[in-house]
Amino acid sequence: MNKLKGYIKNINSSQNLSIVEIDLNGIDICSIVVETPETASYLKTGNQVFVLFKETEVSIGKNVQGLISLRNQIPCKVTKIEKGKILSKIDLECKEHRIVSIITTSSVERLNLSIGDEVTAFIKSNEVSLMEI
Amino acid sequence: MIELNLKKLLNIENKDQTLDIDIKIKTREFITLFGKSGAGKTTILKMIAGLVQPDEGFIKVNGQLWFDKEKNINLPPQKRKVGFVFQDYALFPNMTVEQNIKFGMEKEDKNFLKELLEITELYDIKDRKPVTLSGGQRQRVALARAVARKPDILLLDEPLSALDFEIRQKLQEKLKEIHNRFDLTTVLVSHDFSEIFKLSNRVFVLENGKITRSGKPEDVFVQERLSGKVKFSGEILGIKKDDVVCIVSVLIGGNIIKVIATQEEAKSLSVGDKVVIASKAFNPFILKID
Amino acid sequence: MDNDFLTTLLLTFKLAFITTFILLLIGIPLAYFLAYSRFRFKPFIETIVSMPLVLPPTVLGFYFLVFLGTESMIGKFLEQFGIKLVFTFEGLVVGSVLYSLPFMVHPLQSGFQSVPKSLIEASYTLGKSKLETLMKVILPNIKPSILTGIVLAFAHTIGEFGVVLMIGGSIPGETRVASIAIYEEVEALNYDKAGDYALILLIITFLILLVVYTVNKKILKIEDL
């Protein structure tokens, strides 16, 4: 589980859903939650929250160009690669945050990932959860 | 309104520990006492019933003092209107189901007896003796017997812990039904999270003789407020390393599910841990059962 | 069968029945007390109750004479009411009760202790007093123990010799019970007569026990249904 601390920058709600923008000290992450400021007391601009997303929900892109629907596109550097038979664990660094990604080993090889590479971490907003501090 | 202010010196596993609690229970509430084995939960129930005497404090039930150390008041269990369901059911072997249930009635109320037998589905076996009954049937007799007295408080000491999962589910429903039907105030001692979440309005967590947490089950047990809308509480059955991840088997209700975790995460987990499994509403599939 | 023979036998069984009945009345409260109370002198009382198990019967008989005989304080006090405890049937009853006490109390005490505490607690929480609980919950559930107590006390009383001899003498129709009679007949070399006594005692006690155990089995079977 990736758990990063930031504060709520902006909340945009419909009747039951909200898009919450969180500022992780320079990086922006976006989360869609089935909550509104009326149903969840911690949804207030300025509040500190934890941002959670599973490692298996972090996709990696190298030399990416073009439009992608994924809202969260975070530029990172590869700091560690642990290769398994089918899956691999990639440690990424962005500013002072550490993000872990789990992708297929074949993708690691296809992207020719190595330590030091500049890549983009992709996370869909509906895969990002919030936790009250 | 039930006010419990109890202090008692206990000897748990050869260590002296003081039980010191001060709680108020509202009429018609269903509350659970939660804590490790031997923490003193059964002793608290027995103090309410008058089977064990506190060292200090008072017990006030609907304005009536059942116990007050300073005023030297100590009503014997016979004079307190409690219904007690023991962990081993404590059915009288020499009496039939019907006789067991009637035992606590001050005046035989045929209609109420029939109602009880029907609501606990014991009518057909009312002339059988306890030794011929299954665990689930015995538990229902114990429950009916405790309720027959129309008690002010119903005390349940881990009543369902010896039963298997399906019977437990059914009996949890029955407990809720009886609690509501007869306007009871109930104190349950339980370890079972699903039971606690299903039945209680409030939980009191007993640790080292004191109430450390209290509140609604979802507030007490899920430590942090998580936005994920799909949440279950369960117990870790196994952790298996596979490739660069770990597969964690979790028992949720009667189902075993598998969840992927990183090896780092798994380091802080062990078999037997009580956990909350959470996911987002966006995530799960919905598949209809034909 | 001559009159003498019949009288002796009747006396023997009369003593056993009365003793057993009295022991039941005394034994239940005593066993209840020993099973359920906790106090400092309990081991002391338990020892006293158990003494007749190991004490030589003649010792018991001797002290009976010393403390309850005609020369003793108690003996003199009782004589005012016309009660004599030496060389009388009444004396035999008192002696037998003392001598067979542990045979009634121990099974009862065991029985009481085997009742799960939760049953008793349940009865209290259902509004029943200690006495009601004893009568309606505890006793009905220790029938085998009660039966054992009765059988042991009865059989033990029939077999008494030493105590009876010391405090009873051997007065025909009053204190000459079968066990004494057999002894005397053997001493007088009337082996036939002795044999008659012995055989009858054997058969009757066997039958009593048989009936008792059969009934016990039936009780347990009925309760299983």
Given an 8 Å threshold on Cβ–Cβ distance, is B245 in contact with A89? Answer: yes
Q: Is residue A57's pLDDT more than 90?
A: yes
Please, which pLDDT band fits residue B225 given cuts at 50, 70 and 90? low
Domain ranges of chain C: 3-224
- Boundaries of every domain in chain B: 2-221, 230-279
Residue B261: strand, helix, or coil: strand
Mean pLDDT, chain B, as a whole number? 87
Give the integer Cα–Cα distance in Å for B196 and B203.
8
Considering only residues C20 and C91, tell me which one the structure prediction assigns the higher pLDDT.
C20
Specify the higher pLDDT residue, C167 or A59: A59
Q: Are A111 and A64 in contact (CB under 8 A)?
A: no
CATH tag, B230-279 = 2.40.50.100
pLDDT tens-digit series, residues C140-154: 999 888 988 998 899
Buried b (16+ CB within 10 A) or exposed e, C155-176: bbbbbbbbbbbbbbbeeeebbb
The yes-or-no verdict on residue B229 having pLDDT over 80 is no
Tokens of C134: 């004893």
Q: Find chains touching chain C: ≥3 CB pairs under 8 Å.
A: B
Per CATH, the homologous superfamily of domain C3-224 is MetI-like (1.10.3720.10)
Measured in residues, chain A has a length of 133
- On chain B, the residues whose CB falls within 8 A of the CB of A40 are 225, 227
pLDDT over threshold 60, residue C59: yes
Distance from CA of B32 to the nearest CA of C (A): 20
Model pLDDT, residue A60: 94
Residue B190 pLDDT > 80: yes
Q: Locate the chain C residue with the closest alpha carbon to B91.
A: C119
**Interface touch B260/A56, C-beta < 8 Å:** yes
Measure in Å the smallest separation between the Cα of C81 and chain B Cα atoms: 44
Chain A residues with CB under 8 Å of B277 CB are none
**Mutant choice from C36, C123, C125 vs B, greatest count of B C-beta within 10 A:** C125
Domain count for chain A: 1
Q: Does B90 sit within 8 Å of C127, measured CB to CB?
A: no
Alpha helices (H) in chain C, listed in sequence order: 3-36, 42-54, 57-68, 73-79, 89-114, 117-125, 130-133, 143-159, 162-168, 178-187, 191-224
Backbone torsion region of residue B243, taken as left when φ is above 0, otherwise alpha when ψ lies between -120 and 50, otherwise beta: left
**Cβ-based contacts of B260 with chain A (< 8 Å):** 54, 56
Mean pLDDT of all residues belonging to chain A: 92
Mean residue pLDDT of chain C comes to: 86
The CATH superfamily assigned to B2-221 is P-loop containing nucleotide triphosphate hydrolases (3.40.50.300)
- Give C223's contacts in chain B (Cβ within 8 Å): 93-94, 129, 131
- Give the confidence band of A132 by pLDDT, cuts at 50, 70, 90: confident
Mean pLDDT, rounded, for B277-290: 82
Q: Report the pLDDT value the prediction gives residue C223, as an integer from 0 to 100.
A: 56
Least confident of A97-101, C84-88, C95-99, C104-108: C84-88
For residue A20, what is the domain's CATH number?
2.40.50.100
For residue C1, is pLDDT > 60?
A: no
Q: In this complex, do C224 and B84 lie within 8 Å of one another by their Cβ atoms?
A: no
B156-187 tens-digit pLDDT: 999 888 888 888 888 888 889 889 988 899 99
Under an 8 A CB cutoff, do C124 and B51 touch? yes
**pLDDT computed for residue C62 by the predictor:** 87
Q: Which residues in chain B are contacts of C123 at CB distance < 8 A? A: 92, 103
Whether residues B90 and C122 touch (CB distance < 8 A) is answered with: yes
Model pLDDT, residue A74 = 93
Quote the pLDDT of residue B189. Answer: 93
Crossing angle of helices B165-181 and B110-119, in 10° steps, is 140
What confidence category does residue A58 fall into, taking pLDDT thresholds of 50, 70 and 90?
Answer: very high
Q: Spell out which chain A residues touch chain B, with contact meaning CB-CB distance below 8 angstroms.
A: 1, 31-35, 40, 42, 50, 52, 54-56, 82-89, 100, 102, 126-127, 129-133
* CA distance to partner chain B, nearest, from residue A80 (Å): 13
